[in-house]
Amino acid sequence: MDKIKEKSAVFVSIVEEFDLPLVSFYLIPTGGSREDHEALSKASERIQTSLLEKNLMVVTLSYLPDDESGAIPKHPKFFITVSLTNSVLQHTDIDYIISVLEDVANDKSPTTTPPPLSNVEGKPSVNSPIRVLHEKFLRDVLDIFYKEGLFFKRSEPSSNFMQPDELARQFDFHLNDYPREHSDLLEDFRKVIKFSPHWGHPYFIYQLAAA
């Protein structure tokens, strides 16, 4: 929250004090007006979409309903919320997140890179089978999950975004008259991990499911 307040010309917090592990704010792009709530609301939508499409990080797009009573200060309808519940997040990560948000708000490529590895890197960001037929397959599934779906480095993408039609081409959804080979199922499992949001990634800071 202090870092956002330091950049009050760009970041405007919805609440003035840190409330739980959630921080909500909107950004004012260069040349934007603090009073143009419709443009700022659209900017929040654009920022969330751009972060996802560029595989940078996952944030929440929050909604503030209209309040005719005047009890709630006037803000753009849509704004950004980040969740700081992931235990591996550090101050250097917060600096990186703020820098990326500011760059993306101004339609620029990020000017910073994820912070280097630290001493917490590598920690978790954390029908009935028939043994003779399925034990090896299930062990292989768990091995793939352990190696490819549990631990993520900051230098790796927090998601591998694809549009629905692109994603559909990565899998064979045709119903065949014969069962799939275990090797094919394992390859599909790898793809599911690859194209799913990585909840344990330090930069998966989506409000409802971070960490």
Average pLDDT over residues 88-99: 86
Asked if the model's pLDDT at residue 119 lies above 80, the reply is no
Q: Are 198 and 159 in contact (CB under 8 A)?
A: yes
Asked if the model's pLDDT at residue 132 lies above 90, the reply is no
pLDDT of residue 23: 87
Sheet with 11-13, side-by-side order of all strands: 11-13, 22-27, 78-83, 60-63
Burial class (CB in 10 A: 0-12, 13-18, 19+), 177: exposed
pLDDT of residue 120: 47
pLDDT of residue 126: 36
Percentage of the chain modeled with pLDDT above 70 = 87
Asked if the model's pLDDT at residue 191 lies above 90, the reply is yes
Mapped onto helix, strand or coil, the DSSP state of residue 191 is helix
Percentage of the chain modeled with pLDDT above 90 = 36
Asked if the model's pLDDT at residue 125 lies above 80, the reply is no
pLDDT of residue 83: 86
Mapped onto helix, strand or coil, the DSSP state of residue 12 is strand
CA angle at 88 for the pair 87 and 89, rounded to the nearest 5°: 95
Neighbours of 77 (CB within 10 A): 17
Tokens of 26: 């909107």
Q: Which residues contact 128 (CB under 8 A, 6 or more apart)?
A: none
How large is the greatest C-alpha to C-alpha distance in the chain, in angstroms? 68
Average pLDDT over residues 97-125: 77
Select from 125, 66, 64, 120 the least CA-distant residue to 92: 120
pLDDT of residue 103: 93
Name the residue with higher pLDDT: 142 or 34: 142
Pick the CATH number of 1-211 from 3.40.470.10, 3.90.1150.10, 3.40.50.880, 3.90.25.10: 3.90.1150.10
> What's the pLDDT tens digit per position in 7-55?
888 888 887 776 678 888 989 998 888 889 899 999 999 999 999 999 9
pLDDT of residue 123: 43
Alpha helices in 68-130 (DSSP H): 91-105
Question: Domain extents for the chain?
Answer: 1-211
pLDDT of residue 50: 94
pLDDT of residue 69: 65
Q: Can you give the length of the chain in residues?
A: 211
State the pLDDT confidence band at 208, using cuts at 50, 70 and 90. confident
